[in-house]
Amino acid sequence: MNAIRVLVVDDEPLIAEAHRAYTQKVAGFEVAGVALTARDAMSLLRAEAIDLVLLDLNLPDKHGLEIARALRAAGSGTDVLAVTSNRDIAMIRQAVALGVTHYLLKPFTFAAFRDKLDRYAQYRRQLAGSVEVAAQHEVDRVFATLRGAPADTLPKGLDPTTFDLILTALRGAEPAGLSAAEVGVRTGTSRVTARRYLEHLADSGRVIRSPRYGGPGRPEVEYRPASGGTHRP
């Protein structure tokens, strides 16, 4: 899949640069442009193919949601992730009504930023090549990916704490993959337990299974994060 092209919009040059640098650190994303005003943002949106706008709402020449409104009015498929310090409930409701996919409050950590982009990337992968869904559970899965589902949606017998340990181990090994036994050693769990979590992650598309050759006998299975896939469901 091609890299997701991002437009960073923020009126503070230092913050815009920080968001640009954050975006470049997330696999599968590239920055197509940076704008400090609504006018410059709209010019870049007309000139460039943009998949996602990281949008500050408090711009000097126009409210950021006016950009989202203009995109919707034009029938654009460009998505918007609001990155703002605005905590007003009425503003959040407007953002939702205009199809803003995420609302990230400043200040935030890189981990929180990465999680939003990870979810967005997985959402796009789930819809890639699809014309329609076959059943309600597929719709539910797309919305759960985009919005985030509570931890109690883990299958029975899997707990959030161990789940997070498994994810941390996988991320710590990138770009290499890990076997279930190796994950067990890193997390203090048994090979069987680690495999249950890894198989759940693989079945849900968040990690990729692949054979590891080189030893005697059958190849061992190793697991590595799918691009943008290692977050709690």
More confident residue, 204 or 74: 74
More confident residue, 32 or 172: 32
Q: What average pLDDT does this structure show over 173-194?
A: 91
Any domain includes 233: no
Domain that holds residue 122: 4-147
Structurally, the chain folds into a number of domains equal to 2
Any domain includes 115: yes
Among the candidates 126, 147, 168, a domain finishes at: 147
Tell me: do 131 and 165 sit in the same domain: no
Any domain includes 59: yes
Q: What average pLDDT does this structure show over 30-37?
A: 98
For the chain, what's the residue count?
Answer: 233
pLDDT of residue 213 exceeding 90, the answer is no
Q: What average pLDDT does this structure show over 127-152?
A: 67
Give the Å distances, CA to CA, from 181 to 79, 187, 189, 220: 40, 10, 9, 10
pTM of the prediction? 0.64
- Of the listed ranges 46-55, 68-77, 107-116, 186-195, the least confidently predicted one is 107-116
Tell me: do 101 and 164 sit in the same domain: no
Tell me: do 125 and 10 sit in the same domain: yes
pLDDT of residue 148 exceeding 50, the answer is yes
Any domain includes 153: no
pLDDT of residue 60 exceeding 90, the answer is yes
> Mean pLDDT in the chain?
87
pLDDT at 151: 41
Tell me: do 129 and 63 sit in the same domain: yes
More confident residue, 206 or 81: 81
Tell me: do 111 and 47 sit in the same domain: yes
The pLDDT confidence band at residue 101, using thresholds 50, 70 and 90, is very high
Tell me: do 129 and 196 sit in the same domain: no
Residues 149-165 pLDDT 10s:
544 467 788 887 788 88
Among the candidates 147, 179, 209, a domain finishes at: 147
Any domain includes 114: yes
CATH number at residue 185: 1.10.10.10
Q: What average pLDDT does this structure show over 201-222?
A: 81
